[in-house]
């Protein structure tokens, strides 16, 4: 900004000179001479730097007045530099309309002074005046001579991860210098010999002041600095830490300094959007699509091309129907942030497709923390309405079954002994007698098959968090953080489900069902982290986490199925659980003494034990047929009833060790060498046992019995027996499998900074993978098992270059080669039901890994530490991509997987975030905007974020393997052609209230490929509009209102011109209160 003294600013500009009279033109030289004499004899002004903090967070937009005259406002760093006439003055600082600090100043000519003011909510402000002369505040030592100058230089990094802090401002006492660190965190200044004090400010970090920095003439003094995250209160839910490790500015800075193309969500952004789990938060990231409320598609690629890391470690998924973990398992309360890395680097796992999602959990707080939150919600069409419920157990509210759904003891004993349920015969002496079979059948039925209608209550949630830390000595510090969360939600919906077949007249209706379903979801999580620090260089952490999600569904489908009017019922209880224990250490070893090249070293390690489980006891499916005369009879077909019990356990041990060696040849050439070694040992065992009540005698065919309304009445002690219904086992030969994997990897990286203009990131990753899946038959134990084996060695290069065009913009280019391996589930012939398509699915033991080549470019421009815009281009080439394939079987379609020949995926992404303060300037200069009242709004309190992705893809199928498919060339399954996110936010200047309006939509995508002449099935676009509002109530309380799915659009799946599935999600209202006494 151009500044000038008042008298100079009154001088006419050259343009205005043309408008003055001749007399006025004659007076101008005299006025200029008079002004020159006045300036010559006037006192020289002093320079004053004001640094303002709210706690330890920089306070922007605060007004600074000298002698009641406003001279400016602090910038985003809470800083303002002024030129003040020498003499006595009164300085005051105003926040909004209130004066928050004041100080009498006495400034001398040529004086350089720095005022650091810190505001506290319950105490008087702290004022510290650092000056070259003794006036008013503390006095810093000043240069002692005017001899040859020396040079002060250094590098500023984050104390948390050692990454450079760009854009940090270094204020040097007694000088007018305002030095800013570059993209590598480096700064340099030439100073007169003497002793100085430094003040360092950086967005998202606590300010730091260092005294006694001695500068010697003609010598270089190096002082490297580590900044800790700034402290503030995060605006959402149960905030687990009082420092801003998840602030917007901190994560924008990380995105800017990263060697890879990344998109990052900090806790602050997640909080503003009001999302309760990681999946909901990630749908707002550029190029990401949320599917089924659980799984994230990155850049249009299916969830099989996305990987999830927890604090840098790979974790197993508890859902056997998917290859990645459902992200709705992770509540946002435990997350520091989420990083989506879209380009591969050698320190990441080689299984990399669309991107890697890195979940980062919280650490312990610096100050005492205790928070409690309680909330309730209402769902349109569900809350207060009649829904479908099963007769469950008394502990269902906890998400744990109390044993009511457990496998009967006799059947559990048979399962553990690996014995198939059969009747005792001379050829099978270990079987059960008819009376034992009857007793087991009666035990299994026992009045647990009926679905009741009952009023559905409101959603509810409860969260609790607490933690603290203690400083034992100057170096030793320990702390902990614990949290617990429980929530219950309901969702009732009425759906249309149709299935078509090809005919000469086009699509002919084969199945037409109206589906009523009610889903009860109980989520619970526990989190505990404890640690100890030794100074800034050594950290030890132990993190324990358990996340659980239990889903209880009751469903009734009525309509026509293969020309028969039917009523089908489903009752399902599924417990998904993930337990994780992580022990980690970070160690930094600064170089003692002077070494010409090396700058120190760092070493970090992480051990992770994770166990995932999916327990699905007592799944019940049964069918009634509607006769021509309208009677409803229990069906005697082969699919009339099924009762199944399933259990899956997946455990992994992961070791990660990394070492980093920074080096510096000169100010122009420096960098870092890195080595990372990883090992993953993983195992899984899975079983399903299926049972069927077969009509074995004449009593089971009694029309009066079959016409009873209740299946519990039909399956009773009198009807189960040798002359009625008889329990038999129908477990499939492929329903049991176990699997193992051992993956060893080393990654080597070289990061180079050249002339502070170009950053290069080179890497190579070597991975050796041994993976086997064994599927065997309980029915025929002597049959040879089906074994799938992968034994591969891969070398995966990566190259990234960043051109630092200026201090505000940069251009990234990246190339890499990665792969995608088939998962355990995909290699086993064991069957399961795809939850989205409701189709029987089985794996393929002959699958091969997919090879992927990536090309990326992204331009980024940073308007401020929190405001930016970016434009990205990408392309991915696939060799042998794995795709779902429909095949005919048993009168219906089955789903499996095959390697296609090749595929491509490419697109463009645009992303931007800005504060709307610039509208203030527009409004002041526009009468039209003033007439509209735009000038009455403080636009500094408003912000807007938007991102858009356009994606296209093409896959070429192998005609020998996929000749049943209608299209051998099509888009990738699950890929949307566009993704749009918009967010308008408001936050009051005093931080007491905030509001956000959010919109999300994506283009149509293939959810089921067409076969036998049928078109592909597409999920059509729909938009979701959400609104959140938060108001603080005093110092300790806050209330939040969330309005979800305000538009309530229809979710529709189409095949050609026909609709195959349609429903509405319903609008949601949630209200929560939070209490935090600290």
Amino acid 15: pLDDT: 36
Compute the average pLDDT of residues 905-922. Answer: 88
pLDDT band at 19 (very low <50, low <70, confident <90, very high): very low
38: Cβ contacts below 8 Å, ≥ 6 apart:
7
The answer on pLDDT for 27 being more than 70 is no
Cβ-contact 308, 982 below 8 angstroms: no
The answer on pLDDT for 498 being more than 50 is yes
743: Cβ contacts below 8 Å, ≥ 6 apart:
678, 679, 680, 682, 767, 768, 769, 770, 771
Tokens of residue 783, six digits: 């049959």
Amino acid 161: pLDDT: 65
DSSP per residue over 289-338, as a string?
EEETTTEEEETT--GGGEEEEETTEE---S-TTSSS--GGGSBGGGEEEE
608: Cβ contacts below 8 Å, ≥ 6 apart:
310, 311, 313, 314, 315, 580, 581, 582, 652, 653, 654, 656
Give the CA distances from residue 328 to residues 112, 340, 559, 648, in Å, rounded to whole numbers and listed in that order: 55, 16, 33, 19
Amino acid 241: pLDDT: 29
Mean pLDDT is lowest, of 335-339, 1017-1021, 1038-1042, for: 335-339
CA dist., res. 673 & res. 679, Å (int): 21
Amino acid 565: pLDDT: 94
The phi, psi pair for 29, rounded to 5°, reads: -60, -40
The answer on pLDDT for 1058 being more than 90 is yes
H or E stretch at 956:
strand 942-956
CA dist., res. 675 & res. 671, Å (int): 14
pLDDT band at 184 (very low <50, low <70, confident <90, very high): confident
pLDDT digits 0-9 by tens, 638-658? 889 999 999 999 999 999 999
Mean pLDDT is lowest, of 60-64, 111-115, 477-481, for: 111-115
Amino acid 26: pLDDT: 38
Amino acid 1013: pLDDT: 83
Amino acid 876: pLDDT: 94
CB count, 10 Å around CB of 241? 26
Amino acid 305: pLDDT: 82
CB count, 10 Å around CB of 789? 11
Nearest residue to 626 via CA among 543, 709, 567: 567
* Beta-sheet pairing, 220-222 with 186-191: unpaired
DSSP per residue over 1035-1061, as a string?
TTEEEEEEEE-TT-PEEEEEETTEEEE
DSSP per residue over 883-938, as a string?
EEEEEEETTEEEEEEEE-SEEEEEEEEEEEEEESTHHHHHHHT-HHHHHTTGGGS-
Amino acid 792: pLDDT: 95
Cα-Cα-Cα-Cα torsion 301, 303, 309, 310, nearest 10 degrees, comes to 140
CA dist., res. 918 & res. 916, Å (int): 5
The phi, psi pair for 920, rounded to 5°, reads: -55, -45
SS3 content of the chain, % helix, strand, coil (to 5): 10, 55, 35
E strands within 718-867? 725-729, 736-754, 758-776, 786-803, 809-820, 831-833, 840-842, 850-862
The answer on pLDDT for 156 being more than 60 is yes
Mean per-residue pLDDT over the chain, rounded: 83
CB count, 10 Å around CB of 2? 4
Amino acid 232: pLDDT: 32
Delineate the domains of the chain, giving CATH numbers in brackets.
1-42 (no CATH), 45-227 (2.60.40.1120), 389-405+448-695+732-1075 (2.40.170.20)
DSSP state of 811: E
Mean pLDDT is lowest, of 54-63, 66-75, 155-164, 242-251, for: 242-251
Amino acid 855: pLDDT: 96
Q: Across-strand partners of 832?
A: 841
Buried b (16+ CB within 10 A) or exposed e, 498-517: bbbebeeeebeebbebebbb
Rounded to whole angstroms, the maximal C-alpha distance in the chain is 130
Nearest residue to 828 via CA among 897, 889, 880: 897
Amino acid 165: pLDDT: 84
* Beta-sheet pairing, 978-987 with 942-956: antiparallel
The answer on pLDDT for 904 being more than 50 is yes
Amino acid 741: pLDDT: 95
Amino acid 36: pLDDT: 45
Amino acid 619: pLDDT: 94
Cβ-contact 77, 58 below 8 angstroms: yes
pLDDT band at 1 (very low <50, low <70, confident <90, very high): very low
Compute the average pLDDT of residues 617-643. Answer: 93
CA atoms within 13 A on the CB side of 535: 7
Nearest residue to 272 via CA among 1030, 1046, 1044: 1030
Nearest residue to 573 via CA among 318, 325, 392: 392
927: Cβ contacts below 8 Å, ≥ 6 apart:
none
- The model's pTM is 0.75
Residue found under tokens 């609709």 = 1059
Amino acid 889: pLDDT: 58
Cβ-contact 52, 72 below 8 angstroms: no
Q: Give the orientation angle of helix 409-416 with respect to helix 434-445, to 10 degrees.
A: 110
Amino acid 250: pLDDT: 57
Direct distance between the N- and C-terminal alpha carbons of the chain, in angstroms, rounded to an integer: 41
pLDDT band at 799 (very low <50, low <70, confident <90, very high): very high
CB count, 10 Å around CB of 435? 10
Compute the average pLDDT of residues 292-312. Answer: 78
Compute the average pLDDT of residues 1023-1046. Answer: 91
CA dist., res. 133 & res. 81, Å (int): 18
Nearest residue to 636 via CA among 515, 513, 724, 717: 724
The answer on pLDDT for 330 being more than 60 is yes
Cβ-contact 697, 719 below 8 angstroms: no
Give the CA distances from residue 770 to residues 89, 682, 742, 788, 874, in Å, rounded to whole numbers and listed in that order: 76, 11, 5, 11, 31
Buried b (16+ CB within 10 A) or exposed e, 916-952: bbebeeebeeeeeeeeeebbeebbbbbbebbbbbbbe
Highest-pLDDT range among 119-133, 181-195, 668-682: 668-682
Compute the average pLDDT of residues 379-384. Answer: 95
Give the CA distances from residue 113 to residues 153, 197, 650, in Å, rounded to whole numbers and listed in that order: 22, 12, 63
Residue found under tokens 């509001």 = 995
CB count, 10 Å around CB of 397? 14
Mapped onto helix, strand or coil, the DSSP state of residue 181 is coil
Percent of the chain with pLDDT over 70: 86
The phi, psi pair for 536, rounded to 5°, reads: -95, -5
pLDDT digits 0-9 by tens, 290-299? 766 677 777 7
Cβ-contact 88, 105 below 8 angstroms: yes
Residue 202 CA, chain-centre distance (Å), reads 25
Cβ-contact 240, 251 below 8 angstroms: no
23: Cβ contacts below 8 Å, ≥ 6 apart:
none
Nearest residue to 804 via CA among 311, 439, 259: 259
The answer on pLDDT for 245 being more than 80 is no
CA dist., res. 742 & res. 740, Å (int): 7
Helix ranges, 358-497 (H)? 409-416, 434-445
pLDDT band at 974 (very low <50, low <70, confident <90, very high): confident
Cβ-contact 485, 491 below 8 angstroms: no
pLDDT digits 0-9 by tens, 339-353? 888 899 999 999 988
Mean pLDDT is lowest, of 449-453, 678-682, 933-937, for: 933-937
Compute the average pLDDT of residues 122-129. Answer: 69
């Amino acid at each position: 900004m151009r500044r000038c003294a008042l008298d100079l600013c009154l001088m006419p500009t050259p343009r205005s000179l043309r408008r003055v009279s001749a007399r006025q033109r004659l007076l101008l030289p005299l006025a200029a001479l008079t002004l020159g004499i006045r300036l010559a004899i006037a006192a020289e002004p002093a320079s004053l730097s004001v640094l303002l903090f709210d706690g330890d967070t920089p306070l922007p937009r605060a007004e600074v007045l000298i002698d009641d005259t406003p001279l400016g406002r602090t910038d985003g760093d809470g800083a303002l530099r002024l030129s003040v006439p020498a003499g006595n003055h009164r300085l005051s600082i105003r926040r909004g309309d209130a004066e928050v600090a004041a100080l009498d100043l006495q400034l001398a000519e040529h004086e350089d002074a720095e005022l650091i003011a810190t505001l506290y909510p319950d105490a008087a402000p702290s004022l510290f005046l650092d000056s070259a002369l003794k006036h008013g505040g503390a006095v810093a030592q000043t240069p002692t001579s005017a001899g040859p100058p020396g040079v002060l230089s250094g590098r500023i990094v984050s104390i948390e991860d050692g990454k450079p802090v760009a854009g940090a401002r270094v204020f040097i006492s007694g000088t007018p210098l305002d030095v800013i660190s570059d993209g590598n965190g480096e700064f340099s200044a030439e100073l007169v010999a003497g002793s100085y004090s430094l003040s360092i400010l950086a967005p998202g970090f606590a300010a730091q002041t260092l005294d006694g920095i001695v500068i010697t003439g003609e010598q270089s003094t190096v002082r490297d600095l580590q900044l800790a995250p700034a402290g503030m209160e995060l605006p959402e839910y149960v905030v687990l830490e009082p420092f801003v490790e998840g602030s917007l500015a901190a994560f924008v800075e990380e995105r800017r300094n990263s060697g890879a193309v990344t998109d990052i969500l900090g806790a602050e952004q997640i909080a503003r959007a009001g999302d309760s789990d990681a999946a909901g938060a990630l749908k707002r990231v550029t190029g990401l699509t949320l599917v089924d409320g659980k799984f994230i598609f990155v850049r249009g690629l299916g969830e099989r091309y996305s990987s999830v890391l927890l604090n840098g470690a790979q974790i197993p998924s508890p859902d056997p129907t998917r290859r990645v973990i459902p992200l709705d398992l992770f509540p946002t309360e435990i997350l520091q942030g989420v990083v989506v890395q879209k380009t591969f680097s050698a320190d990441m796992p080689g299984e990399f497709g669309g991107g890697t999602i890195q979940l980062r959990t919280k650490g312990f707080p610096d100050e005492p923390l205790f928070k409690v939150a309680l909330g309730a919600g209402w769902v349109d069409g569900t809350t207060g309405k009649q829904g479908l419920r099963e007769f469950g157990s008394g502990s269902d509210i906890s998400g744990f079954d109390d044993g009511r759904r457990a496998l009967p003891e006799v059947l559990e004993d048979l399962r553990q002994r690996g014995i198939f349920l059969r009747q005792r015969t001379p050829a099978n002496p270990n079987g059960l007698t008819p009376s034992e079979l009857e007793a087991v059948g009666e035990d299994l039925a026992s009045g647990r098959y009926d679905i009741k209608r009952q009023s559905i209550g409101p959603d509810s949630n409860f969260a609790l968090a607490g933690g603290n830390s203690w400083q034992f000595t100057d170096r030793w510090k320990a702390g902990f953080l614990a949290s617990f969360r429980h929530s219950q939600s309901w969702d009732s919906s009425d759906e249309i489900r149709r299935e078509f077949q090809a005919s000469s007249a086009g699509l002919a209706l084969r199945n037409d069902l109206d589906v009523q379903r009610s889903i009860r979801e109980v989520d619970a999580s526990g989190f505990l982290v404890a640690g100890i620090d030794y100074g800034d260089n050594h950290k030890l952490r132990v993190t324990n986490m358990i996340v659980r999600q239990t889903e209880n569904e009751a469903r009734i489908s009525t309509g026509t199925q293969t020309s028969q009017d039917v009523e089908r019922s489903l009752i399902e209880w599924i417990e998904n659980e993930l337990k994780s224990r992580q022990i980690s250490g970070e160690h930094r070893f600064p170089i003692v003494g002077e070494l010409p090249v090396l700058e120190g070293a760092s070493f970090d390690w992480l051990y992770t034990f994770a166990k995932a489980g999916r327990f699905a006891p007592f799944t019940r499916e049964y069918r009634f047929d509607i006769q021509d005369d309208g009677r409803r009879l229990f069906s005697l077909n082969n699919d009339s009833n099924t009762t199944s019990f399933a259990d899956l356990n997946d455990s992994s041990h992961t070791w990660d060790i990394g070492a980093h060696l920074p080096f510096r040849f000169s100010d122009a050439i420096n960098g870092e060498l890195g080595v990372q070694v990883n090992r993953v040992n993983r195992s899984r065992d899975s079983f399903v046992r299926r049972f069927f009540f077969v009509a074995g005698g004449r009593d089971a065919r009694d029309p009066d019995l079959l016409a009873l309304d209740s299946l519990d009445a039909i399956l009773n002690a009198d009807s189960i027996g040798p002359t009625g219904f008889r329990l038999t086992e129908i477990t499939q030969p492929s329903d049991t499998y176990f699997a193992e994997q051992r993956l060893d990897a080393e990654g080597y990286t070289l990061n180079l900074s050249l002339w502070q203009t170009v950053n290069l990131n080179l890497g190579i990753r070597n991975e050796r993978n041994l993976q086997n899946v064994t599927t065997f038959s309980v029915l025929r134990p002597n049959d040879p098992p089906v074994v799938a084996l992968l034994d591969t060695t891969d070398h995966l290069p990566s190259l990234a270059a960043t051109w630092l065009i200026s201090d505000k913009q940069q251009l990234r280019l990246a190339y890499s080669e990665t792969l995608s391996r088939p998962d355990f589930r995909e290699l086993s012939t064991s069957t399961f039901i795809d939850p989205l398509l409701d189709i029987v699915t089985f794996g393929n033991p002959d699958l091969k890994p997919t090879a992927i080549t990536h090309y990326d470019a992204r331009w980024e421009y940073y308007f401020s530490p929190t405001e930016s815009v970016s434009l990205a281009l990408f392309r991915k080439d696939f060799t042998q991509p794995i795709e779902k394939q429909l095949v005919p079987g048993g009168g219906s379609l089955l789903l499996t997987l095959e390697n296609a020949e090749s595929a491509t995926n490419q697109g463009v992404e645009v992303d931007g975030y800005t504060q709307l303060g610039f509208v203030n300037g527009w409004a002041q200069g526009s009468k039209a905007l003033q007439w509209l009242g735009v000038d009455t709004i403080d636009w500094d309190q408003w912000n807007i974020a938007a991102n858009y992705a356009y994606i296209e893809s093409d896959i070429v199928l192998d005609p020998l393997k996929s000749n049943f498919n209608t299209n051998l060339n099509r888009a990738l399954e699950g890929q949307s052609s566009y993704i749009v996110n918009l967010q308008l936010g408001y936050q009051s200047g005093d931080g007491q209230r905030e509001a956000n309006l959010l919109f999300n939509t994506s283009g149509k995508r293939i959810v089921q490929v067409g076969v036998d002449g049928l078109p592909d099935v597409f999920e059509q676009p729909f938009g979701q509009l959400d609104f959140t509002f938060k108001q603080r109530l005093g110092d300790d309380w806050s209330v939040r209102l969330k309005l979800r799915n305000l538009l309530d659009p229809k979710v529709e799946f189409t095949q050609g011109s026909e609709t195959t599935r349609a429903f509405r999600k319903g609008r949601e209202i949630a209200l929560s209160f939070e209490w935090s006494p600290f």
